[in-house]
Amino acid sequence: MSAWLERQQARTIKPAADVPAEDVTHQRISLYKDSPSGEVCIEEFERFAIDRLRVLKGIEDAKTKGFKGDQLQGLVIQLAEKHLKCATAEETRWKDAVSHFVLRLAYCRTEDLRRWFLQHECELFRCRFKNEMPTSQVEFMRRHSFAYEALAGEEYQGLKADLVKVPFEQVPDLVASRRVLLRGGAAYVSRHEVASLVVGHFRAGLSHSLALTARRWAASIADEEAERLTPVVLSLSERYLGPDYGDGEKGPQEVVTAAQLPALAKQSFPLCMQNMHSRLHADSHLKHFGRLELGLFLKGIGLPLEEAMKFWRAEFAPKVQGEKFDKEYAYNVRYNYAKEGKRTDYTPYSCKKIISIPVPKNEAFGCPYKTLSPADLAEQLRAMRLPQRSVEEVVAKARAGHFQLACMAEFEGRHSCICDEGINHPNQYYDESRKVLVEQQKPAEPATPAAGAAAVPGATQPKAAIGTPGIKITVAAT
Amino acid sequence: MSEEQVAKRPRTDEKGSSGTPMEQDQQEVPGPAGEGPTDRKPARKSVQDLMRPYYGLKFPYNEFCQWLSYGNDTKLPQADSNFFQRREFCFTLDGDIFVRYQSFKVAAEIHALPKLPAKIDIGPVYNVDPQRRKAYTGGASERGFLPVERELVFDIDLTDYDDVRTCGKEGHICAACWPLMAVAVEIIDASLREDFGFEHILWVFSGRRGIHCWVCDERARKLTDEQRSALAAFLSVYKGTEGGIARLALSTVSNSNHPSVERAYRVLSDAWTEHILPQQRLLADEAGWEGVLAYVKDDDVAERLRGRWAREQGRLTAGDISVERWADLESEIDKKEIIFAYAYPRLDVEVSKKMNHLLKAPFCVHPKTGKVCVPMDPSNIWAFDPEQVTTVHDLLETDKDSQDAATAEAAMEAAVGTFRRCFLNGLRAASKAGLVAKARASEGLAW
């Protein structure tokens, strides 16, 4: 046991950013216990909030791309510097507090919004806390009188460990990843993991406050501020939750029909969805996760329930028809559209999720850049008429384990354009693909929206969003 | 499945075990002498037919309700007399009809139900009586009807070991694969007690091929969903199988050699050579050793062993062939990984993560096997034999005055005895002590 602990201790404590260890910690990080008092003009109210959203959104993107540890921390600190820093420490603190409380208001109203906000605020807090010097961290904990026990002398003597003892409930993330010693319900946290402890408190406090704010919002604020704040607050949360590609985001003009699917699959489906789609067609069947991944993706591109039912029924028809289909598969389809079971409006799976689901042999679901052998992958790509240079690039990236980069390279090869920000969602791939194709079909002068464009789904502009996660597209010169 | 098929099930399951009360029972079923047992089957009632009398006559409601009251059924001043009534029960009626959000004031109410269930699931304790939940939901407030506490539960099922069991698949269970469950009980039980400090832990046979665990300490019942997930993740070293290889959380610095993982490894190592390796005959044939060799990183080593084992196939050995071949594997690192991949408990973590996940109650009857979901003594888990578990047929279909009836009765009593001895007695004492302490504390405040 002590060997394990010593090894844990030996992991170097990263020296924090280059700042003097004077006691300014409380100015840079806050638990946001009290709302700021003072006047904020409505423009500032919104501008501050949008700046903070850029930070939170940036955190989400970075995590989707797989950023972790020091790399993530560095990026988050940069984001915060860029968007939240002002001329003086005083102003910075003011902006930090105001933006936090405005977003609290905007993101308190539904479970999903709260979860999103909580998750990314905690990450921001964690990175900021870890960025402090160890002495400042201790000072911060002292200032906020965190209740923890320093170990008594005879307890774990011989371990010479610099440990803090807390109930295990307080450090769930350390428990989950086994980064803590447990004994009899107590967790012994080493000093360099105290961030988890503090973040735990931060999370619990914020979670509670969000629930309270939600009640107050419903009870009074929404009515009292109906004309002034409410529209701003509502639009903040609506615009910036980030695309989950749920069907709610689609306008009516973006509806896709079952009949359009084969053509769309060829043009704009990422390889994972193409594979499932063709396997479904060949086998007249698709296993559970395939139905889920493809079904939700199709919902995300704008296939309504009736069309989805039509599509699945037709595809299954050679093998399963009539009552058997109704009984065993129609439920699935309706489930995806929140008409059955818990009636949750499920959102399409992101790349991260698709990559993380284990795929048994010979199944069509999952990320093909991960599951296919290099030879099979190359063959498929060539069959899609991808230029040889792209095929090589894609296969090399996939082989190196950079599945999303491989997907991005495929996108670039297929659409002959540059994709700057990467692929992190099959529906994002699709949307960007539609955008590029529409762009490429347009005549040289974009005078009026081309008549043909209306017929192509996904042609309309996505909702204006600052810091939109979409890909910056540069159409290659033709 | 037709009713007759249902009725057949328990019969075939019990065939293999000799000397069970059931086998003697079969001889008493009226039927033309000299004919095979299959001809006599229609005489036996189906499990479904016996559910009603079982829940009417045999189900130990007293103990059941004493448990779920946590001392609130006493006259202690701090006792919360509504506590039991805020618990959700879910009944499954014939034909897989779920009836959720049932609640009862006292045990007798369940007993007196017009429709007795095929299965009882236990849900969380809510802030209000689940039957009156409608009055608290909807409207602006989202806080109306919420679970407030629930036992921490675990579910482990042998079907999740199908890729590493050699004796059978799916619903199959036998003496060769049960050690996987026994070792799971040992490992999880030790961690819950030593790492997390829990004391009131109930282990239950799930009726066919799995086990359930109920952690009932007050602290466990109050865990949030996030904390439950964390705890489940802590206990999950096995993270699924991909391409025939198990994914294990052993690779990172913080995970390898964690005291808890080391303790599990000690338990697994013993069970491995003593039970699992020989009984599963894991290295006895090519299919078996290929599965194991997939974990050997050094291709030369794998190739050498493959060659040697193939050459020696068919040779007579003094000891168990799998155990002997296991000794041929040299690398300690590979060995550890293989043992964890094959035998570390494969938790169904979804069951443990959420407060409001339902789980089948102890003492229910499994609809397919007719076996009673009896409690198990974790300190004597290797003595538990799932094939010998009492069935509803033993309890209700035997002649009242016969030896078999007495045996079945005694088995049921023993099961209830295990429940009291290993679990309920300690829990009741602790619940009462807790309430007394609470009363003292509030008196102290009043002063």
**DSSP bridge pairs for B202:** B214
When scoring B143, B201, B231, B353 by the number of chain A Cβ atoms within 10 A, the one with the most, hence best to mutate, is B231
Q: How far apart are CA A220 and CA B75, in angstroms?
A: 43
Give the model confidence (pLDDT) of B241-267 as tens digits. Answer: 877 788 888 765 445 678 899 899 999
Q: Which among B195, B241, B257 has the least Cβ separation from residue A3?
A: B257
Closest CA to A292 of A256, A346, A372: A346
More confident residue, B145 or B424: B424
Q: How far apart are CA A257 and CA A457, in angstroms?
A: 10
Q: Chain A: nearest CA to B233, how far in angstroms? A: 5
**What is the per-residue pLDDT for B153?**
97
More confident residue, A366 or B13: A366
Out of A126-140, A232-246, A367-381, B213-227, pick the least confident. A232-246
Q: How far apart are CA A55 and CA A57, in angstroms?
A: 5
3-class DSSP state for residue B199?
Answer: coil
Interface contact flag, B254 A179, Cβ < 8 Å: yes
Q: Which among B229, B242, B258 has the least Cβ separation from residue A178?
A: B258
Give the model confidence (pLDDT) of A126-183 as tens digits. Answer: 999 988 887 788 778 777 766 555 554 444 444 545 677 889 998 898 899 888 889 9
**Angle at the Cα of A33 (from A28 to A39), degrees rounded to 5?**
80
**What is the per-residue pLDDT for A454?**
39
Task: Number of helices (H) and strands (E) in chain A: give both, helices first.
Answer: 24, 6
More confident residue, B9 or B33: B33
Domains in chain A, start-ordered, CATH in brackets? 16-135+195-236 (1.20.930.80)
Q: Which among A8, A218, A360 has the least Cβ separation from residue B140?
A: A218
Residues of A in contact with B240 (CB under 8 A): 358
Q: Chain A: nearest CA to B192, how far in angstroms? A: 9
Q: How far apart are CA B3 and CA B7, in angstroms?
A: 6
State CA A287 to chain mean position distance.
26
pLDDT at B42 over 70: no
pLDDT at A250 over 70: no
Q: Which among A4, A169, A177 has the least Cβ separation from residue B259?
A: A4
What is the b/e burial string over A207-246, where b = at least 16 CB atoms within 10 angstroms of the residue's CB?
A: bebbeebbeebbeebbeeeeeebbebbeebbebbbbbbbb
Average pLDDT, integer, range B227-235: 95
**What is the per-residue pLDDT for B17?**
36
3-state helix, strand, coil in chain A (%, to 5): 60, 5, 35
pLDDT at A252 over 80: no
Interface contact flag, B233 A176, Cβ < 8 Å: yes
Interface contact flag, A8 B234, Cβ < 8 Å: no
Q: How far apart are CA B127 and CA B105, in angstroms?
A: 15
Q: How far apart are CA B79 and CA B436, in angstroms?
A: 9
Q: Which among A177, A182, A360 has the least Cβ separation from residue B195?
A: A182
Residue A5's pLDDT band, with cuts at 50, 70 and 90, is low
More confident residue, B40 or A109: A109
Active site residue B320: no
Catalytic pick from B14, B155, B160, B394?
B155
Q: How far apart are CA B283 and CA B55, in angstroms?
A: 46
Where, residue-wise, is CATH 3.90.920.10 in chain B?
47-135+145-237+346-442
When scoring A9, A113, A175, A178 by the number of chain B Cβ atoms within 10 A, the one with the most, hence best to mutate, is A178
**What is the per-residue pLDDT for A68?**
80
Residues of B in contact with A111 (CB under 8 A): 142
pLDDT at A88 over 50: yes
- Closest Cα in chain B to A110: B142
Q: Chains A and B: how many Cβ contacts under 8 Å?
A: 83
Interface contact flag, A358 B258, Cβ < 8 Å: no
Alpha helix segments (H runs only) across A131-270: 134-143, 172-176, 194-216, 222-224, 229-240, 261-268
More confident residue, A90 or A22: A90
Q: Which among A169, A186, A215 has the least Cβ separation from residue B141?
A: A215
Q: How far apart are CA B281 and CA A204, in angstroms?
A: 50
pLDDT at B205 over 90: yes
Residue B160 has, within 13 A of its CA and on its CB side, a CA count of 21
Residues of B in contact with A188 (CB under 8 A): none
0.90 cut: is pTM over it? Answer: no
Average pLDDT, integer, range A227-247: 64
Give the model confidence (pLDDT) of A444-475 as tens digits. Answer: 544 444 444 334 444 333 333 333 333 333 33
Residue B5's pLDDT band, with cuts at 50, 70 and 90, is very low
Q: How far apart are CA A210 and CA A231, in angstroms?
A: 19
Phi, psi of B406 (to 5 degrees): -65, -40
Catalytic pick from B13, B73, B157, B160?
B157
**Angle at the Cα of A114 (from A113 to A117), degrees rounded to 5?**
85
State CA B108 to chain mean position distance.
27
Interface contact flag, B143 A215, Cβ < 8 Å: yes
CA-to-CA separations, A171 to A1, A176, A177, B195, B351, in angstroms, rounded: 20, 9, 10, 14, 21
Interface contact flag, B255 A211, Cβ < 8 Å: no
Out of A165-174, B164-173, B415-424, pick the least confident. B164-173
- Residues on B contacting A at a C-beta cutoff of 8 Å: 140-143, 194-198, 219, 223-224, 226-227, 229-231, 233-234, 240-244, 247, 249, 252-255, 257-262
Interface contact flag, B233 A211, Cβ < 8 Å: no
Chain A 110-139, CB below 8 Å of chain B: which residues?
111
**What is the per-residue pLDDT for B347?**
95
Interface contact flag, A211 B143, Cβ < 8 Å: yes
Residue A2's pLDDT band, with cuts at 50, 70 and 90, is low
Cβ atoms of residues A32 and A122 within 8 Å: no
**What is the per-residue pLDDT for A239?**
54
Phi-psi region of B139 (alpha: psi -120 to 50; beta: other; left: phi over 0): left
Interface contact flag, B243 A361, Cβ < 8 Å: yes
Q: Which among B196, B253, B261 has the least Cβ separation from residue A168?
A: B196
Catalytic pick from B14, B88, B151, B186?
B88
Average pLDDT, integer, range A435-446: 71
Instruction: Please determine, looking at this structure, whether the domain spanning B47-135+145-237+346-442 carries the CATH number 3.40.50.2000.
Output: no
**Tokens representing B91?**
């009944």
Residues 6+ apart with CB under 8 A from B68: B84, B87, B122
Q: What is the ipTM of this complex?
A: 0.83
Average pLDDT, integer, range B272-287: 89
Residue B7's pLDDT band, with cuts at 50, 70 and 90, is very low
Active site residue B13: no
Q: Chain B: nearest CA to A193, how far in angstroms? A: 12
pLDDT at A101 over 50: yes
**What is the per-residue pLDDT for A238?**
64
pLDDT at B359 over 80: yes
Interface contact flag, B142 A178, Cβ < 8 Å: no
Q: How far apart are CA B77 and CA B354, in angstroms?
A: 32
What's B103's DSSP letter? -
Q: Which among A11, A178, A359 has the least Cβ separation from residue B234?
A: A178
pLDDT at B314 over 70: yes
Average pLDDT, integer, range A356-365: 80
**What is the per-residue pLDDT for B4?**
35
* Residue A329 amino acid letter: Y
Question: Is residue A169 less than 8 Å (CB to CB) from chain B?
Answer: yes
Interface contact flag, B259 A1, Cβ < 8 Å: yes
State CA B438 to chain mean position distance.
33
pLDDT at A87 over 60: yes
**What is the per-residue pLDDT for B60?**
92
Cβ atoms of residues A239 and A49 within 8 Å: no
More confident residue, B15 or B221: B221
Cβ atoms of residues B243 and A361 within 8 Å: yes
The whole-chain average pLDDT of chain A stands at 78
Percentage above 90 pLDDT, chain B: 44
Active site residue B399: no
Give the model confidence (pLDDT) of A186-235 as tens digits. Answer: 998 877 778 888 888 899 899 999 988 888 887 777 777 777 777 777 77
Out of A236-240, B128-132, B205-209, B404-408, pick the least confident. A236-240
**What is the per-residue pLDDT for A410?**
92
pLDDT at A241 over 60: no
Residues of A in contact with B262 (CB under 8 A): 1, 4
3-class DSSP state for residue A379?
Answer: helix
Residues of A in contact with B230 (CB under 8 A): 172-173, 175-176
SS3 assignment for A392-408: HHHHHHHHCCCHHHHHH
Question: Is residue A179 less than 8 Å (CB to CB) from chain B?
Answer: yes
- Closest Cα in chain A to B163: A360
Question: Is residue A172 less than 8 Å (CB to CB) from chain B?
Answer: yes
Q: How far apart are the first and last CA of chain B?
A: 67
More confident residue, A262 or A17: A262
pLDDT at A3 over 80: no
**DSSP bridge pairs for B203:** B213, B376
**Tokens representing B6?**
């249902």
The greatest distance separating any two alpha carbons of chain B, rounded to the nearest whole angstrom, comes to 84
